[in-house]
Structure 1
Amino acid sequence: MSPISEDDWPLFHTLQTDPEVISLCFDEPTLLEIQSKFRSKLEPWTPDSSHWYCLVVSELETGIKVGITGYCIQNGTAEVGFMFLPSFHGRGYGTESLRALVEYSRKHFCLKSFSAVVTEGNLGSEKVLIKSGFTLHSVIPDAYGIGGQMYADHIYMMENIVT
């Protein structure tokens, strides 16, 4: 994993517009919205930043960029997120990268509390979170609209990590 850079625009744009990727995340944003999100992820990051820390996940053997992961810290809790190209779904990259992100953040930034919000029906993301040690904390009915349909938010937590 490496911090996102200007060179990662094609990957980021694809992840924000691919119907298979975003179908259970959000409605397709405009190009201006995508550009704004991308620029915010390029800003220097510290644990006190209000914007997302974004890392690009690449295959070790080939260097092919397969997705992104990262988090935003609010009130001492890091809300994690991840998106992967559909051709790399189901290969364990989400779980491996999320575990590494949590471990690195625990060691280097002393983070102990992590959360994730998953849209109802996004079973692949829920499996990644569970395999990575997160547990379902709460369900908020009709919390988020995608394509004119309301979905529940599933809130996952990982707290009090000890080695």
Structure 2
Amino acid sequence: MTEAARETPVLAPEYPILTPRLLLRPIVADDAVAMHAYKSDPAAVRYVPYAPLTLGEVEQRITTTWSRTVFTAEGDGICLAAEDRESGALVGDVVLFWRSATDRAGEVGYIFDPRFSGRGYATEAVEALLALGFDGLGLHRIAARIDERNTASTRVVERLGFRREARLVESEWFKDEWTTLLIYGLLETEWRERSASAR
């Protein structure tokens, strides 16, 4: 693939993406301090693939890993800030990965500030990612890979209609211990049926 082809967007979402209570938008430099508040918390990052981050590390990732806002090829992922529309507070961030063009497969991930837990923000934000993946990218299936101990995260995807498809016992060496991984999946047809019944 040429560099020019690599930079031609397959999907360039219009931002912000609005949900009833949230505004999903690209992560910007001004988010660093608010993001550091939860990304430096060992409990908050317990089940994500990085250790507690310093402010400098958050700032560096905002300019690199977390800066992509369009999909140009499989393997891309876009990270979005989740902002409370009423207060303007950054409550967390979410990511949608485009895993395979052939299989039309994607994956979601999310982390939220514990100070805003229990309010349904994660469910609301991930639901918006499903629309982006199924309607925008034309995905056939979206997965979520969750540490079995992360019960709050499993509740999010279960509320959205994901089914648990696998339990991989001690399948990954993660943060100095074996982790049992749960694989959840949702098909486009299932999402559309659920969306239609919710109207």
Which of 132, 136, 143 is 2:160 aligned to? 132
Which of 20, 40, 48 is 2:65 aligned to? 40
Task: State the AA in 2 paired with 1:112.
Answer: H
Contact 1:99 1:132 in 2 (8 A): yes
Measured on the aligned residues, the alpha-carbon RMSD in Å equals: 2.2
Q: Take 2:177 and 2:83, find their aligned partners in 1: how far apart are those partners?
A: 34
Q: Take 2:42 and 2:176, find their aligned partners in 1: how far apart are those partners?
A: 15
Question: What pairs with 1:65-104 in structure 2 (closer than 5 Å)?
Answer: 65-75=90-100, 76-104=104-132
Unmatched tracts of structure 1, length 5 or more: none
1:108-156 deviations in Å (ceiling 9; x for gaps): 2222310011012100000001001111111111123344321101111
Contact 2:68 2:79 in 1 (8 A): no
1:116 matched to 2:139? The reply is no
Aligned to 2:25: 2
Q: Take 1:99 and 1:87, find their aligned partners in 2: how far apart are those partners?
A: 21
1:57 matched to 2:57? The reply is no
1:24-72 deviations in Å (ceiling 9; x for gaps): 3345156576555431221342152533211111112111110001211
Task: State the AA in 2 paired with 1:79.
Answer: E
Q: Take 1:55 and 1:120, find their aligned partners in 2: how far apart are those partners?
A: 25
Task: State the AA in 2 paired with 1:12.
Answer: M
Task: State the AA in 1 paired with 2:85.
Answer: L
Q: Take 1:106 and 1:24, find their aligned partners in 2: how far apart are those partners?
A: 26
Aligned length: 163
Task: State the AA in 1 paired with 2:151.
Answer: L
Task: State the AA in 2 paired with 1:69.
Answer: V
1:75-124 deviations in Å (ceiling 9; x for gaps): 12111000000011111001011111112332222223100110121000
Question: What pairs with 1:137-156 in structure 2 (closer than 5 Å)?
Answer: 137-156=165-184
Q: Take 2:50 and 2:94, find their aligned partners in 1: how far apart are those partners?
A: 19
1:8-32 deviations in Å (ceiling 9; x for gaps): 2223333432112112334515657
Q: Take 1:124 and 1:41, find their aligned partners in 2: how far apart are those partners?
A: 24
TM-score relative to the length of structure 2: 0.72
